[in-house]
């Protein structure tokens, strides 16, 4: 397939969406990998003293879905993540049923830059939102 055809798969109305969740086991694995054992993520007694019913999912674990977007869900495997801006709006808890969605909002035919707006929802409420920039390379 020629290179132009691959680039042309990035349509102006490109929308990508999937469901996901994180378990306590996922959170424990992330804590080990990241070194972030803050009790807000790991200690139920501490969490309850702060007014929450369960440990909070790490923000960077939640936003790890951005890596899935760029690495797995785009029309090809030629995009490279270059920037992320994330706003955490509401807390996320283990086993929450979540939706990740992203829309292509800018595609530069001269620089092969891609810009996406993304969101993470729970029960139609925004938990997380932001922008992701990628560069397309062959």
How many residues appear in the chain? 138
Cβ-contact 41, 23 below 8 angstroms: no
CATH code at position 18: 3.10.129.10
- Per the structure, how many domains does the chain have? 1
Q: Which domain holds residue 54?
A: 3-136
Q: Identify whether the C-beta of residue 98 lies closer than 8 Å to the C-beta of residue 120.
A: yes
Query: What is the CA 114 to chain-centroid distance, rounded?
Result: 16
> Tens digits of per-residue pLDDT, 64-105?
999 999 999 999 999 999 999 999 999 999 999 999 999 999
Question: In terms of Cα–Cα distance, which of 112, 133, 130, 120 is closest to 9?
Answer: 112
Task: Place 129 in a pLDDT band, splitting at 50, 70 and 90.
Answer: very high
Backbone angles phi, psi at 62, to 5 degrees: -60, -45
Mean pLDDT of 31-49: 97
Beta carbons within 10 angstroms of residue 102's beta carbon? 24
pTM of the model: 0.92
Q: Is 84 exposed, middle or buried (0-12, 13-18, 19+ CB in 10 A)?
A: middle
User: What pLDDT sits at residue 5?
Assistant: 78
Section 18-25 average pLDDT: 98
């Amino acid at each position: 397939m020629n290179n132009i055809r691959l680039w042309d798969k990035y349509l102006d109305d490109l929308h990508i969406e999937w469901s996901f969740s994180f378990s306590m086991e996922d959170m424990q694995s992330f804590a080990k990998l990241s070194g972030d054992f803050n009790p807000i993520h790991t200690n139920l007694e501490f969490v309850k003293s702060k007014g929450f019913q369960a440990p909070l999912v790490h923000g960077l674990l939640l936003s790890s879905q951005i890596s899935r977007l760029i690495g797995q869900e785009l029309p090809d495997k030629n995009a490279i993540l270059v920037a992320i801006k994330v706003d955490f709006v509401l807390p996320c808890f283990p086993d929450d049923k979540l939706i990740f969605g992203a829309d292509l909002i800018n595609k530069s035919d001269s620089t092969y830059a891609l810009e996406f707006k993304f969101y993470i929802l729970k029960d139609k409420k925004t938990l997380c939102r932001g922008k992701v920039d990628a560069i397309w390379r062959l």
